[in-house]
Amino acid sequence: MKKLLILGSGTGGTIVANVMRKKLKSTEWDITIIDKNVDHIYQPGLLFLPFALYGYENETAVKKDRRDFIPSGVNFVQDEIKSIDKNKKTVKTAKGSYTYDKLVIALGCDVHPGEIEGMKESIGNGVNTFYSLPEALRLQKDLANFKGGKVILNIAEMPIKCPVAPLEFIFLADYYFTKKGIRDKVEINLCTPAPGAFSKPIASEIMSHSMKDKNIHLIPNFPIASVDNKKKIIKSFQKEETNYDLLVSIPPTRGADILDDSGLGNGAGYVDVDHHTLKVKDTDDIYAVGDVCNVPTSKAGSVAHFMAEVVIENLLNEINGKSIHPDFDGHSNCFIETGFKKAYLIDFNYKIEPLPGKFPLPGIGPFGLLKDTKMNHRGKMAFRNLYWKKLLRGKPLAPFNLVKNKLQMAGKDTSLLKK
């Protein structure tokens, strides 16, 4: 019996487990997936929980038992992965060890507030993050008690998980404080190490206009060095300072330390893969999927989904003695909530930045690219159901395979690219 081992049962790992179980004969292939905990969190919902918006009020809105999404015929192991030995084709965990014929690394990435002086010890005391369930719920209380003052949403450094989440947070803060009737008492700031609101120029310009319209300020080129929570000040490495009443930070993000310890990481816990085949460099039998990959596109669930399709195709090609395909193009597709029941949608890849147009049907939509619409918001709200029912189980998201893992140019206005 051959063995497929999947490390991490988040978005990417769960899709791979579901589809591979359908594709590989259970008399020939044993499939095991390992994760350190049993709760699967719908991470896009962590954005809404702090504001208790759109029905996201408590943990039941985002949390399910991940074993419900592992198909029968796949062994789920709850254990902490400690190391990978690519020569011996063995993975060690806290409680045991596992050999493999094919390995898929899907360990994601996480925030590390301890890397910024003064940040970790200040969390829960006027300093917050919202990238985990307990943090998002605590921020909900802090926001409910907030009577006015200066709010700073800080990005510590790039890359982060879901690069549009900071923008969504400040837009939703504007909506939240408007609904509360205290918007005129709150100053909202986006404090970023980058020169602009977003990394892609056309989208960044549009987001900057939206920020201006909503009276949200940008503090650019501010790589945070420390938090002084007594004085309520953050300092940059260039010794600039800015004060806050409520600091919400997206701390430095890292992949999985065990990858560095196993000689597979790039020093920041991300694994070097071929950008197009997603095969881990200098290995014969290892692929990676999702946020853990060191590739120049967004760390997003949509990307993990598109990557999973390519990893599955290439695993099957290899198993069947065929050549593997360089089919991943960096495709990413994200809604950007702007409050007031509206959202933008962006669709891009390694080479093509987000452009205006319609998605997924050219000229029809119903979603508007780089447009702030109610239909886009409805799409984002509908996505949670699709995530649990279709995406994790590896089923098509839309009829006629309308949402493809490669970027489609039809329906996009390319005239802006020629400028």
336, 303, 260: which is closest to 403 by C-alpha? Answer: 303
For ligand FAD, which is the closer residue by CB, 9 or 338? 9
Q: How far is the CB of 418 from ligand FAD (least distance, A)?
A: 29
Contacts of 112 (CB under 8 A, 6+ apart): 251, 252, 253, 254
Q: How far is the CB of 258 from ligand FAD (least distance, A)?
A: 5
CA dihedral 197, 198, 200, 201 (to 10 degrees): 0
For ligand FAD, which is the closer residue by CB, 182 or 397? 397
For ligand FAD, which is the closer residue by CB, 115 or 240? 115
For ligand FAD, which is the closer residue by CB, 165 or 295? 165
Question: Strand, helix or coil at 4?
Answer: strand
Using the Cα atoms of residue 46, residue 50, residue 53 and residue 57 in order, give the sign of their dihedral: positive
Q: How far is the CB of 147 from ligand FAD (least distance, A)?
A: 25
d(CA 356, CA 373): 13
List residues binding ligand FAD (CB under 6 A): 8-13, 34-37, 43-44, 46-47, 80-81, 106-108, 130-131, 161-162, 165, 256, 258, 290-292, 299-302, 304, 334
For ligand FAD, which is the closer residue by CB, 37 or 58? 37
Contacts of 342 (CB under 8 A, 6+ apart): 372, 373, 374, 376, 377
Q: At what angle do helices 165-180 and 201-213 cross, to 10 degrees?
A: 10
Q: How far is the CB of 291 from ligand FAD (least distance, A)?
A: 4
Phi, psi of 211 (to 5 degrees): -60, -45
Residue nearest to ligand FAD (CB): 10
Q: How far is the CB of 181 from ligand FAD (least distance, A)?
A: 26
For residue 317, the 8-state DSSP code is H
For ligand FAD, which is the closer residue by CB, 235 or 336? 336
Residue 20 half-sphere exposure toward CB, CA atoms < 13 A? 32
d(CA 90, CA 83): 8
Q: How far is the CB of 295 from ligand FAD (least distance, A)?
A: 11
d(CA 345, CA 373): 9
Q: How far is the CB of 257 from ligand FAD (least distance, A)?
A: 8
For ligand FAD, which is the closer residue by CB, 242 or 262? 262
